[in-house]
Amino acid sequence: MVSLIGDTAFIKGCAAIGAGLAVGLAGIGAGLGESGIGAAAVGATAEDRGFFGLGILFTVIPETIVIFGLVISFILMFAFG
C-alpha cells in the first residue's frame, strides 16, 4: 500500500477526528437526554410557574456527558495534537 501521509500526521489526524467525535457524539447523547427532561419541565412549568427555576436546573443535568466528551477530547489533543 502506498502511504500518502506520514505516521505522525496520521496519528494526529485520527486524534483530531476522535476528539471531534467525542464532543459531537456526547453532545447528541446529552441532547437526547435533555429533550425528555426539557419537555417534562415545560409541562410542569405550565402547571406551576414557580417550577421554572428548578425545571431549568433539571434540564441541564445531562450536560455532564458533554463535559466528559470534552475532557476526553482535551486529553486527546494534549496527548497527540
Partner 1 sequence: MLKPERMVKVSVVGPKDYFEKVSEILYDLNLIHIEDPEETEYFKLGEPFEKAGVVSRSLVQLRSILSYLKLDPEKYFPKRRYKIEEVVAELDAKLEEYRNEVGAKIDKIKSLQEKLKALEDELRVLEPLKTLGIPPRLLKGYKTIKPFVGFVRADPRPKIEEITSEYEVFIKDYGKEYVIAVFVKVEHAEEVFRVLQEFGFREVTVPDIEDYDARISEIQSEIESIRGEIKRLESEIEEVKEREADLMLAIEEYLSMELEKSELPLRSLVSKYVFVVVGYVPQKDVETLKSRVEAETDGKVSVEILEDREKFEPPTKLNNPPYVKDFEVLSTTFAIPKYHEIDPTWIMSIFFPLFFGMMLGDIGYGAIITAISLYLKRIFKTEGWQKLLNIGIYSGIASIIFGFLYGECFGPFVVGEGLSPSQVHWFGSLMAGIYAFNHGHPIFDRVEAFGVKALLFITLVIGMFKLLWGFALGFRNVAVEHGYKEALLEKGCWFIGVLGLCFIIFGFTYNLGLFTSPPPEGFGKILPDNLFVFGSYTVSDARNVPLPIPGLVKGWQMGVNVFYFLALPLILIWFVIFAKAEVPKMGAMGVILGVELLTWFGQILSFARLLAIGLSSVYFAYVFNYLTLKMAFPPGMAILPVAIIVLLLGHLINLVLGILDPGLQSLRLHYVEFFTKFFEGGGVLYKPFGKIKKFLE
Contacts to partner 1 by CB under 8 A: 53-54, 56-57, 60-61, 63-64, 66-68, 70-71, 74, 78
- For the bound state, the minimum distance from the C-beta of residue 4 to partner 1, rounded and expressed in Å, comes to 28
- For the bound state, the minimum distance from the C-beta of residue 49 to partner 1, rounded and expressed in Å, comes to 13
- For the bound state, the minimum distance from the C-beta of residue 65 to partner 1, rounded and expressed in Å, comes to 9
DSSP 81: -
Distance CA 52, CA 3 (A): 57
The answer to whether 41 and 47 have CB atoms below 8 angstroms apart is no
Cell of 65: 456527558
Distance CA 81, CA 76 (A): 7
Which residue, 14 or 71, has its beta carbon nearer to partner 1? 71
Which residue, 35 or 64, has its beta carbon nearer to partner 1? 64
